[in-house]
Amino acid sequence: MTAPLKNIRVLDMSRVLAGPWAGQLLGDYGADVVKVERPDVGDDTRQWGPPWLGEGGGDGEAGYFLATNRNKRSITINIADSIGQDLVRSLAAHADVLIENYRAGTMERYGLGAKSLLEANPKLIYCSITAFGLTGSRSGEPGYDAMIQASAGLMSVTGPPPEAPGGPQKVGVAISDIMAGMYASTAILAALNSRVESGVGQHIDVPLYDSQVAWLANQNMNFLLSGESPTRMGTAHPNLVPYQAFRSSDGDFMLAVGNDKQFAAACRAVGLPELAADVRFSCMSARLENRGELIRLLQDRFAQKTTATWLADLRGAGVPVGPINDIAEVLSNEYANERQLVRHIKNSNGDSAPLVSNPVDFSATPVSYQKAPPLLGEHTNEVLREWLGYSDAQIKSLRQDDAI
């Protein structure tokens, strides 16, 4: 079987998370992804440990780097050097896609901006990921995930209610970066499809800030329709009730009721069938209006039995409910084994790199798990020979010039 992007070459000039996440997805789908890194240093996240892979520790194989750089080959190029810049231009001339997430204007200063590279290779898909986009008053500002979560609205709806202690919270993973990477990968695929029709590539601009705003989804609509800014609600849902965590006699679990039929089933399962017929709770809009009273009644009932009991009773009634598992449980339980959620690939050092599976399952063009996250620059010679036909003498000269 073949991979869906087996004919696509990607020059991944990004680092940290948003760009590398997009590049990893394309690599999972079979693209030849070449990661361009700084000589001797590499991607910042190579040093974001512990934890580390292998016994050496601190050798550039941090867990953070491993999470987002599988199915890539690593080459080192000094893009601050004119010879290194020429090398990137040559590689870009043979690429289908280029991904970069430098601060706006940086690539232009190196002579590697979208305009010049597209002139040299009109079929190139050039994807820029920045904090605030390539235009506008904030285009030159840097940005990291946490401040994007804060300034683009996510933290205002994440955390305990305003009246409770704790204050605004960020999500426990760099979700603004990851979602920008997801938007970038889908945009790249759309542009590749457009190229089939037009024969030409284009420049894609994916800002972290705009991406974060876009995927606030129903919370955006709640404001646009009501004029009222959503607030923090803990685990509760602004449009659905009951849809939140409850405490049992020995722990917590998450109940997610999405419609009136599920609510009636949940009421029967917990021994409170009368609630489904109560006009205060019989439809979703009524439950939203009387949220506080309903939650109190349900919480009093749930406190009487264990989490395991309620999970069994509610699941048996077809009600969406689940335990609040930690990551250790998620990645080591029976379901994780059944779905092969964790895989291992040996790198060139002989270390077995643990990886979390791509969730997509193609029936005819399976996801690739061919390459462990690469060691710094381990494929430089290989890629220069394959992509550009360079000789050993030419590669040696580049090293002598500190261009690679």
Write down the pTM of the prediction: 0.94
Q: What is the pLDDT of residue 56?
A: 61
| Catalytic residue (one of 12, 96, 177, 210) | 177
CATH class of 9-214+337-400: alpha beta
Give the three-state DSSP class for 84.
helix
Residue 271's region, left for phi above 0, alpha for psi from -120 to 50, else beta, is left
Of 78, 108, 113, which is closest to residue 92 (Cα–Cα)? Answer: 113
Tens of pLDDT, residue by residue, the chain (404 residues): 689 999 999 999 999 999 999 999 999 999 999 999 999 999 999 999 999 998 766 567 899 999 999 999 999 999 999 999 999 999 999 999 999 999 999 999 999 999 999 999 999 999 999 999 999 899 988 889 999 999 999 999 999 999 999 999 999 999 999 999 999 999 999 999 999 999 999 999 999 999 999 999 999 999 999 999 999 999 999 999 999 999 999 999 999 999 999 999 999 999 999 999 999 999 999 999 999 999 999 999 999 999 999 999 999 999 999 999 999 999 999 999 999 999 999 999 899 999 999 999 999 999 999 999 999 999 999 999 999 999 999 999 999 999 99
Of 144, 149, 168, 322, which is closest to residue 246 (Cα–Cα)? Answer: 322
The sheet that has 321-323: what strands, in order across it? Answer: 243-247, 252-256, 321-323
Q: What is the pLDDT of residue 54?
A: 82
The torsion angle over the Cα atoms of residues 157, 150, 172 and 169, rounded to 10 degrees, is: -50
- How far does Cα 322 stand from its chain's mean position? 23
Q: Is 300 a catalytic residue?
A: no
Map out the domains of the chain as residue ranges: 9-214+337-400, 243-324
Q: What is the pLDDT of residue 76?
A: 98
Token pair of 3 as six digits: 């991979």
Q: What is the pLDDT of residue 72?
A: 98
Rounded Cα gap, residues 159 and 117, in angstroms: 44
Judge contact between 61 and 350, C-beta under 8 A: no
* Secondary structure letter of residue 52 according to DSSP: B
Pick one of 3.30.1540.10, 3.30.360.10, 3.60.21.10, 3.40.630.10 as the CATH number of 243-324.
Answer: 3.30.1540.10
Token pair of 277 as six digits: 């017929």
Q: What is the pLDDT of residue 59?
A: 65
